Amino acid sequence: MASIFTKIINGEIPCYKIAETEDFFAFLDINPNAKGHTLCIPKQEVDKLFDLDEATYNGLMQFSRRVAKAIEKAVPCNRVGLTVIGLEVPHAHVHLIPLNNMEDSRFIKKETLSPEEFQEIANAIQANF
Ligand code: 5GP
């Protein structure tokens, strides 16, 4: 069965899209630690990040770097952090999180955003990609 992220890539589940290339896709996390929290994924559906073939792994890191630079320009923050967890969704992904303090890096404190706020931040990051 297709993962929830594959359904997002295919447009079967809506998302606030940030960027897409032939092999990779970025969109806002629906339950963000901080405003601008973004997920970067390979289109290829593989559960664990370190099980990706080397070219896809390196490509995902290059893509994530580009997205992180766009987040840095669009979202006021001290820096963008990169986290890999994968306990919830078995489709390899990188979390890019705008950080101002240690709390932002923890998956405990969550930010509540309106649809308009999600869309506004997605547009701002997209414009800098
Ligand atoms: P992990 O697998 O790294 O533990 O967490 C998966 C992340 O995906 C979570 O931060 C969660 O909020 C996010 N997530 C889960 N389902 C959806 C979804 O349907 N849409 C979006 N945009 N994010 C999701």
Catalytic one of 37, 91, 93, 95:
93
| Run of H or E residues at 83 | strand 79-83
pLDDT in tens, 57-97: 999 999 999 999 999 999 999 999 999 999 999 999 999 99
Residues 93 and 85: their CA atoms lie apart, in Å, by 8
Domain count, the chain: 1
49 with 110: CB under 8 angstroms? no
Between the CA of 108 and the centroid of ligand 1 the distance, in Å, is: 14
pLDDT at 1 exceeding the cut of 90: no
**How far does the centroid of ligand 1 lie from the alpha carbon of residue 46, in Å?**
15
pTM over 0.95: yes
Q: Is 93 a catalytic residue?
A: yes
If you average pLDDT over residues 45-50, what whole number do you get? 98
Domain that holds residue 11: 4-127
Strand partners, 80: 98
Strand partners, 56: none
Instruction: Name the token pair of 19.
Output: 């960027």
- The per-residue pLDDT for 109 is 87
For the domain that residue 73 is a member of, what is the CATH number?
3.30.428.10
- Flag whether pLDDT at 19 surpasses 90: yes
User: Which tokens in the block code for residue 71?
Assistant: 């987040």
